């Protein structure tokens, strides 16, 4: 009995020491992080705290605007690649489309089609939020422009382990538009080779299916791609909003690191058409996270997002 009495105060001391430490750790992980941005001549640079998180590149020489790097919260290294074999035209995190009125706004040279930034405007800067507009025109020599688009991009860091990029885009048809069936369309991400399935990473959809064979062409509201590098696990998930056309989207997935909610590959009649002045609004959330799908709480994050106004 005496030994038990002596041991009890020891446990109380341990609990007293550990409890405040655990509370402080939890608070630091869940506390929103400060976010700031700087608009430069060819990019918008975004920092979380004192660390660069991403840059949105929009120089007029580019095929299309895109995000790179997209740095993970644990390593500080980009989890996407700006260019990598195979298919080096996949630039990190981007939006484009092939076979639009005969033009290619996804790959190949700019004379086949280019999405050109016209205006960048920083519209909201709060301690924990950055928001900017980007107006773009789709153009190619000798042909009418099929689209202009307005992108509203909002970046937050709700905790030390999470980064959100909210990407809202409204496409306005400047002429009658016809998009032929193709596998190169709309929002997409290309992971660094070290995190891809071919090198031990995991690609998982909302139904719990993993890898290219199981997820390719399967409708799902989100997909997450993650892996381990330098002993740290990080990933990137793409959420498709229920208000989007074709929701839940079918996914074009590859074990080498590419994934995209790509509706144009599964068009029923092989064509998607819009009349002049018609609009198409699409919303996506990108979640850059520490840990795997489960520890990052990707499913819960999606449900929380879609309930927001």
The domains of the chain are located at: 1-29, 31-306
Contacts of 36 (CB under 8 A, 6+ apart): 46, 47, 125, 130
According to the model, what pLDDT value does residue 59 have?
Answer: 98
What does each of the 309 residues of the chain score in pLDDT, given as a tens digit? 333 333 333 333 333 333 332 333 333 457 999 999 999 999 999 999 999 999 999 999 999 999 999 999 999 999 999 999 888 999 999 999 999 999 999 999 999 999 999 999 999 778 999 999 999 999 999 999 999 999 999 999 999 999 999 999 999 999 999 999 999 999 999 999 999 999 999 999 999 999 999 999 999 999 999 999 999 999 999 999 999 999 999 999 999 999 999 999 999 889 999 999 999 999 999 999 999 999 999 999 999 999 998
- Among residues 65, 97, 89, the alpha carbon closest in space to that of 179 is found at 97
Rounded Cα–Cα distance for residues 193 and 199 (Å): 7
Specify the fold of 31-306: Beta-galactosidase; Chain A, domain 5 (2.70.98)
Rounded Cα–Cα distance for residues 298 and 128 (Å): 21
Query: Taken in order 222, 188, 289, 156, is the CA torsion positive or negative?
Result: negative
Predicted TM-score of the model (pTM): 0.90
Contact 109, 89 (CB under 8 A): no
Please give the angle made by the CA atoms of 166, 168 and 173, to the nearest 5 degrees: 165
């Amino acid at each position: 009995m005496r030994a038990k009495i002596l041991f009890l105060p020891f446990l109380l001391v341990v609990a007293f020491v550990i409890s405040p430490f655990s509370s402080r750790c939890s608070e630091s992980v869940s506390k929103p992080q400060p976010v700031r941005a700087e608009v430069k001549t060819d990019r918008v640079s975004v920092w979380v705290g004192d660390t660069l998180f991403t840059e949105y590149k929009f120089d007029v020489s580019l095929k299309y605007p895109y995000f790179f790097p997209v740095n993970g919260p644990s390593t500080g290294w980009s989890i996407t690649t700006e260019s990598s074999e195979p298919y080096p035209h996949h630039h990190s995190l981007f939006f484009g489309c092939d076979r639009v009125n005969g033009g290619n706004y996804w790959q190949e040279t700019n004379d086949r089609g280019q999405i050109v930034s016209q205006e960048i405007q920083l519209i909201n800067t709060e301690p924990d939020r950055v928001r900017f507009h980007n107006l773009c025109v789709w153009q190619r020599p000798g042909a009418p422009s099929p689209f202009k688009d307005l992108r509203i991009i909002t970046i937050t860091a709700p905790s030390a382990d999470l980064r959100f990029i909210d990407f809202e885009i409204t496409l306005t048809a400047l002429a009658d538009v016809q998009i032929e069936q193709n596998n190169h369309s709309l929002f997409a991400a290309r992971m660094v080779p070290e995190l891809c399935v071919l090198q031990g990473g995991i690609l998982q959809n909302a139904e719990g299916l993993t890898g290219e064979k199981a997820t390719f062409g399967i409708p799902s509201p989100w997909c997450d791609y993650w892996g381990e590098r330098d002993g740290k696990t990080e990933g990137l998930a793409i959420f498709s909003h229920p208000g989007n056309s074709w929701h839940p989207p079918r996914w074009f997935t590859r074990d080498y690191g590419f994934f995209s909610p790509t509706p144009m590959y599964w068009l029923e009649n092989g064509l998607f058409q819009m009349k002049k002045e018609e609009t198409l609004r699409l919303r996506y959330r990108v979640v850059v996270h520490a840990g795997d799908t489960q520890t990052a709480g990707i499913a819960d994050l999606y449900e929380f997002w879609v309930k927001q106004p």
